[in-house]
Amino acid sequence: MTVQQQLPSFRALQASDERLLAEELRVLATKQQIAVVRTLGDELERRLARGGAALAVQGQLVEELARLGCRSLETAAAMAEKPVDVAEQSGTHCVLAFVGS
């Protein structure tokens, strides 16, 4: 199984705020985990369609889905903690985002 490795942007690498780099790395790790789950799901589907043994792939998919769940929760929690101090433009109206307490 081959999953393409992604790198953070130059903007994040050159930023003086380390939080930007940490956020990008967290999102990239989540995207990579999504790719692993997708690849295993495709492999499981191929094996089931051919009537082959899929138990090993199914077990690995369960483990990777659990990892994806953990990464997703960590990423969401970190993004929720990120302070927002500007209004976000949505095209037709302004959406104000506030930092939670």
- How far separated are the first and last CA of the chain, in Å rounded? 43
pLDDT at site 86: 44
pLDDT at site 94: 46
pLDDT at site 10: 52
Residue at token pair 């999504």 = 34
pLDDT at site 15: 63
pLDDT at site 84: 47
Contacts of residue 21, Cβ cutoff 8 Å, sequence gap at least 6: 8, 12, 13, 15
List average pLDDT for each run of 10 residues in the chain, which is 101 residues long: 54 64 83 94 94 89 95 86 52 48 43
